[in-house]
Amino acid sequence: MSGVYARRLSGSSSRRRRLGVLGALTAAMSAVALLTGPPAQASPPTPVTAATARTYLSSLTVQAPGSSTGYSRDLFPHWITQSGSCNTREVVLKRDGTNVVQDSSCAAVSGKWYSEYDGVTWSAASDVDIDHVVPLSEAWKSGANSWTTAKRQSFANDLTRPQLIAVTDSVNQSKGDKDPAAWMPSRTAYRCTYARMWVQVKYYYNLTVDSAEKSALQSVLNGC
């Protein structure tokens, strides 16, 4: 066998080995993707840790929910203009989605949205609601009834705290104004995050919790 021919054979073997390794790596990466769920995307601000949330929760005032008398969503002006023609809803749709395309008026015309609450992916913005993690009515009954309209507006459009998230519209409607004692995401893998989000928002805005709500949150946070 000539030296040139031997080198060619050796080179071919090396290429086959490299291709084999690359194939194995690709297969492994595909398996990891299947196990870890949907591709990474933007999301609400990362909430405080479970340990911090437990500390925050222990400091919140516990009292029965207040009256809903006088409550109206109009008292919490929401989806205000954030920049240019973009309102809060469109900002969150862009933030929480992947490959989101917006038209000249900032409306999302295409993209993908993975709903953390139920694990469903949507390709139409009309199928997605922006959930107030701590509902407006819940906030009213736990202290926001005494706020100024300006503060209620800030709460309803808060992009700094983990208070807004894009989710399946029907899931958001099913949640309504329920607190964690009555409603938690059906996707159990997200419940710890949801509890941390809820507590952080209530702590920041100095809102109260009722005893059942606190117990439900403690139960979830203790398992994080």
> Which of 158, 161, 189, 168 is CA-nearest to residue 35?
189
- 17-32 pLDDT, tens per residue? 443 433 443 333 333 3
Q: Would you say 60 and 3 are in contact if contact means Cβ atoms under 8 Å apart?
A: no
pLDDT at 43: 82
User: Quick check: pTM over 0.75?
Assistant: yes
CB within 8 Å of 157: residues ≥ 6 apart: 77, 78, 79, 80, 82, 88, 164
Residue 27 is which amino acid?
A
Residue that wins the pLDDT comparison between 4 and 209: 209
Q: Would you say 193 and 116 are in contact if contact means Cβ atoms under 8 Å apart?
A: yes
- 49-89 pLDDT, tens per residue? 999 999 999 999 999 999 999 999 999 999 999 999 999 99
Query: Given the structure tokens 């906030």, which residue do they identify?
Result: 139
Quick one: average pLDDT of 29-48? 55
* Domain locations in the chain as residue ranges: 1-36, 41-222
